[in-house]
Amino acid sequence: MVTNEQTVNSKPFPKNNWRTVGVKVREEDLGTFNKRLSLYGYETLGQLVSDFITAKFPMVTEDRQIDAIGDNIQNSGLKTVINGVPFEPTFYKNLDIEDMFSYLVNIRRFQKHASRCAVNYFARYREVFFGREPTELLRLTSRKRSWILVSMRYFGNYYNYKTGNPECKDLIERIIDRFGLNVGLDNQQKVYLVDDNYVSTKVRDLMKIEGQIGLTVKVGLFSGLREEEIVHIHKTEICDNLGGCDCSKLHVINKRDGVSVIVVNWFRGHKKCYFTILPTAVWNQFRELKSFDSVDIEVAHKLTKKVANVMFVGLRKLHYNVMSRVMDMNEADILAGRAKSVSARHYALYELDRMAEDYVQAWKRFDISLSSLT
């Protein structure tokens, strides 16, 4: 729009149809005008106008980009437009991939291998996810699409961590919902049938692994704990007060038949770890290790894949299948950290002996005698 303080001289050129636009500036303001041009990196008014027309100047802030994309998802699906003018989003491009990887490993405490996979998926598919046709992702396999959505959600958490702006997380969920990118990925609704022969074969193969790696595998298999929880129970001090102490240390109760109950009470968001049960011999050997961290788990992961074709994280599912053969679902869910705290408190106070007995019987069904472990 041209105001009454501006004049426009329009003389169309016959070949390229250009127009000349002139702006009146007070003579005393020319020095300030030229300084401001230089401040923004321009030598001439023509350069400024050129970048203004192509939406390169002024830069659209990342917050405004996120808001605009969110608005356009709801209104028209043209996701990179502000007031009818297209712009090039940068909030997901101006990203240090290695810093995001460091955040996942050091802040979120995720496994290095999984974190590397996540950042790689994000780097490869972010242009499609935040682009004009995110539905292209529906052509991919369910497994790959699942990884992509996980990586995008990780990016949303990382962006919120770095900028304090939670709108990016909301935008990601809205894109997923608007374009149905998670259709067919709801694994929580599926029922998986695992027969005893499958579990027995995997357990038998895993028990053949020897040495410190074998010990790591046994801890994962017999406890059913998440990887970060295994590291936690190794490094956390043990409190000798078993009279209802509520400190943050571990509390260990030895039961008959060679098993120990380790009360953990470690909670991170929706991930909960109330207590676990381990063969006493395995628990003592594990605590005697001078050092133990995620690297030991990564090494064990490679061997479990080679020997039994099971990822280390899959030991948790095997453990649940073993427990559910004898325990009721509530008991198995408590050991897996899925039950409500009221149920966990009840079993911790009144049913530990029965749970320990059921734990021993569950492993006996797969020919594992816990009292004979050394």
- Residue 345: per-residue pLDDT: 67
- Residue 239: per-residue pLDDT: 94
Residues 117 and 49 placed together within one structural domain of the fold:
no
**Domain contains 356:** yes
Residues 116 and 180 placed together within one structural domain of the fold:
yes
Residues in the chain with pLDDT < 50?
1-13, 59-88, 188-193
- Residue 222: per-residue pLDDT: 96
Identify the domain boundary among 188, 215, 249.
Answer: 188
- Residue 192: per-residue pLDDT: 47
Residues 278 and 241 placed together within one structural domain of the fold:
yes
Identify the domain boundary among 143, 160, 188.
Answer: 188
Could you tell me where the DSSP H helices lie in 54-141? 62-75, 97-102, 112-129
- Residue 349: per-residue pLDDT: 60
**Domain contains 12:** yes
Residues 183 and 150 placed together within one structural domain of the fold:
yes
Are 219 and 373 contacting, i.e. CB atoms less than 8 angstroms apart? no
Number of domains within the chain = 3
Two tokens at 170?
């909301």
**Domain contains 75:** no
Residues 15 and 140 placed together within one structural domain of the fold:
no
Which CATH number characterizes residue 337's domain?
A: 1.10.443.10
- Residue 137: per-residue pLDDT: 92
- Residue 70: per-residue pLDDT: 44
Each residue's pLDDT tens digit, 340-357? 666 666 666 677 888 899
- Residue 42: per-residue pLDDT: 67
Residues 271 and 311 placed together within one structural domain of the fold:
yes
- Domain range for residue 132? 97-188
* Distant-in-sequence, close-in-space partners of 316: CB < 8 Å, separation ≥ 6: 220, 224, 225, 226, 336
Are 258 and 272 contacting, i.e. CB atoms less than 8 angstroms apart? no
Residues 157 and 202 placed together within one structural domain of the fold:
no
pTM: 0.53
Are 96 and 282 contacting, i.e. CB atoms less than 8 angstroms apart? no
Residues 175 and 208 placed together within one structural domain of the fold:
no
